[in-house]
């Protein structure tokens, strides 16, 4: 479950996750694992000492306190590449003169360093993460297959390009990533494909980083969130899940059934409202803009924290329906001059490259503030987030990995990159 602070912040927080590809075999460039351990627990962290194990591009990482004093609090933003124990143990920046060529492990001269385990991921997040990994497993194994050889050559780069394109990453992100990899290989001199894969994880994390942002609730009362998307993308379901999380965090929610287009839509949202015991504003056969206006007005009058506006599915090519969406947005602003505070697009993760077109079209029409990517538990390939990051980097507030209430979580660039590649 994502966290909800007193100040009403949704935050994509995760405790320090596992190290980059912790199970990866030690690359050829790394010093021998039998090298001496760091002599003291306060030795400076040396993330750059082993480019193969921890590439330069790796974003700043909250690392265990015993490794560095710059440890971040568990609530810090979660793009972290924990220093792998091996890297710390085997790559001291400047070994003390007493370290000879022979192994000192076990010697009284060396006090073995204790590397604390990174804090465990909360069970709910871990469950969700496992589902995400399972969902993206096919993509992960096909990309990982590129790195099983023993050397980095042209054939590897070609295979990687193919695998990234197959994963829906799109031409721009694929070129960006492979170019970055070539640069890094040149700069660091790595020669082992496993090291290259770790660099790819770091590069993808960096590419996805701008998409990692928290949905902020509480700056306005109510915070009005308008939700749009193509038919069946998962708008109503995601609103239901979001409502539960908000209600669980003691935020009062009012739902607006502004999908007056489909007969069953109102009932569907009403079921979610009942499940979450929150109020709903709906109108049989009414005008969606009028329902939204009423809901925002009621939300203000009743002092609600959040008003979630569910809209009817539509294709960006259905111009009259896109006009209707724009009208909903305009009319919401009549009820509250500062609203809507968030305009979210829900994307079905299975849509592939078409998702990028959806993001562009809805953004052009409505000015999106965030995305929810659903159905990453199924056949979705996941690479489309890299394409979005390159072509229209709108924050991904949440990821859905199932139909159940608790199967929506905050997006974390590093977790996602690992799920997609590791």
Ligand X SMILES: Nc1nc2c(ncn2[C@@H]2O[C@H](COP(=O)(O)OP(=O)(O)OP(=O)(O)O)[C@@H](O)[C@H]2O)c(=O)[nH]1
* DSSP code of residue 309: E
The rounded distance, in Å, linking the Cα atoms of 342 and 180 is: 34
Distance of CA 323 to the CA centre of its chain: 31
Instruction: Report the site for ligand X in 383-412 (rule: CB under 6 A).
Output: 400-403, 407
Q: Fill in the per-residue mask, 269 to 308: x = in contact with ligand X (CB under 6 A), - = not in contact.
A: ----------------------------------------
Cβ atoms of 414 and 80 within 8 Å: the answer is yes
The rounded distance, in Å, linking the Cα atoms of 109 and 9 is: 50
Enumerate residues 6+ apart whose C-beta is below 8 A from 164.
143, 173, 174, 177, 178, 383, 386
Cβ atoms of 68 and 40 within 8 Å: the answer is no
Cis omega before residue 222 (within 30°)?
A: yes
Burial of 100 (0-12, 13-18, 19+ CB in 10 A): exposed
CB of 398 to ligand X, least distance (A): 10
Q: Find the binder of ligand X among 89, 374, 410, 412 (CB under 6 A).
A: 374
- 374 in a known ligand binding site: yes
- 312 in a known ligand binding site: yes
235 binds Mg ion (CB under 5 A): yes
- 285 in a known ligand binding site: no
CB of 209 to ligand X, least distance (A): 23
Q: Find the binder of ligand X among 30, 237, 358, 418 (CB under 6 A).
A: 237
CB of 239 to ligand X, least distance (A): 8
Stretch that binds ligand X, among 73-81, 113-121, 175-183, 369-377 (CB under 6 A): 369-377
- 230 in a known ligand binding site: yes
Q: Find the binder of Mg ion among 12, 46, 194, 236 (CB under 5 A).
A: 236
Q: Is 227 helix (H, G, I), strand (E, B) or coil?
A: strand
Q: Fill in the per-residue mask, 109 to 138: x = in contact with Mg ion (CB under 5 A), - = not in contact.
A: ------------------------------
The rounded distance, in Å, linking the Cα atoms of 153 and 158 is: 9
CB of 404 to ligand X, least distance (A): 9
- 311 in a known ligand binding site: yes
Contact partner, 234, from Mg ion, ligand X, none, Cβ < 5-8 Å per class: ligand X
108: how many CB neighbours lie within 10 A of its CB?
6
Binding residues with ligand X: total (CB under 6 A): 22
The rounded distance, in Å, linking the Cα atoms of 384 and 240 is: 25
- 235 in a known ligand binding site: yes
Whose tokens are 């987030």? That residue is 385
CB of 358 to ligand X, least distance (A): 12
Enumerate the known binding-site residues for GTP. Answer: 229-236, 310-314, 374-377
């Amino acid at each position: 479950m994502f966290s909800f602070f007193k100040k009403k912040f949704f935050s994509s927080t995760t405790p320090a996750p596992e190290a980059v590809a912790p199970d990866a075999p030690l690359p050829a460039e790394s010093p021998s694992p039998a090298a001496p351990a760091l002599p003291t627990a306060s030795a400076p962290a040396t993330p750059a000492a082993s480019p193969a194990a921890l590439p330069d591009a790796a974003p700043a990482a909250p690392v265990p306190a015993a490794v560095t004093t710059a440890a971040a609090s568990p609530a810090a933003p979660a793009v972290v590449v924990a220093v792998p124990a091996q890297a710390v143990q085997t790559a001291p920046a400047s070994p003390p003169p007493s370290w000879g060529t022979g192994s000192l492990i076990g010697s009284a001269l060396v006090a073995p360093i204790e590397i604390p385990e990174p804090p465990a991921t909360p069970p709910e997040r871990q469950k969700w993460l496992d589902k995400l990994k399972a969902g993206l497993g096919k993509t992960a194994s096909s990309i990982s297959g590129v790195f099983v050889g023993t050397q980095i050559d042209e054939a590897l780069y070609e295979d990687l390009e193919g695998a990234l394109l197959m994963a829906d990453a799109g031409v721009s992100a694929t070129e960006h990533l492979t170019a970055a990899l070539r640069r890094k290989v040149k700069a660091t001199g790595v020669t082992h494909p496993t090291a290259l894969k770790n660099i790819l994880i770091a590069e993808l994390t960096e590419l996805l980083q701008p998409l990692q942002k928290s949905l902020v609730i509480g700056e306005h009362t109510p915070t009005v969130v308008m939700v749009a998307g193509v038919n069946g993308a998962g708008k109503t379901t995601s609103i239901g899940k979001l409502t539960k999380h908000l209600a669980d965090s003691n935020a009062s929610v009012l739902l607006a059934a502004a999908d007056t287009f489909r007969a069953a839509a109102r009932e569907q949202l009403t079921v979610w409202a009942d499940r979450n015991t929150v109020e709903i504003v709906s109108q049989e056969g009414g005008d969606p803009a009028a329902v939204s206006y009423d809901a925002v007005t009621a939300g203000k009058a009743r002092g609600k924290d959040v008003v979630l506006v569910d809209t009817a599915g539509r294709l960006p090519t259905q111009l009259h329906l896109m006009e209707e969406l724009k009208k909903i947005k305009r009319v919401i602003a009549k009820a509250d001059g500062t609203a809507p505070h968030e305009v979210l697009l829900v994307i079905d993760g299975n849509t592939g490259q078409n998702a990028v077109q959806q993001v562009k079209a809805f953004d052009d029409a409505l000015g999106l503030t965030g995305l929810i990517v659903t159905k990453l538990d199924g056949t979705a390939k996941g690479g489309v987030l890299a394409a979005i990051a390159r072509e229209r980097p709108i924050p991904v507030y949440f990821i859905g990995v199932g139909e159940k209430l608790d199967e929506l979580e905050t997006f974390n660039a590093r977790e996602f990159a690992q799920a997609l590649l590791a």
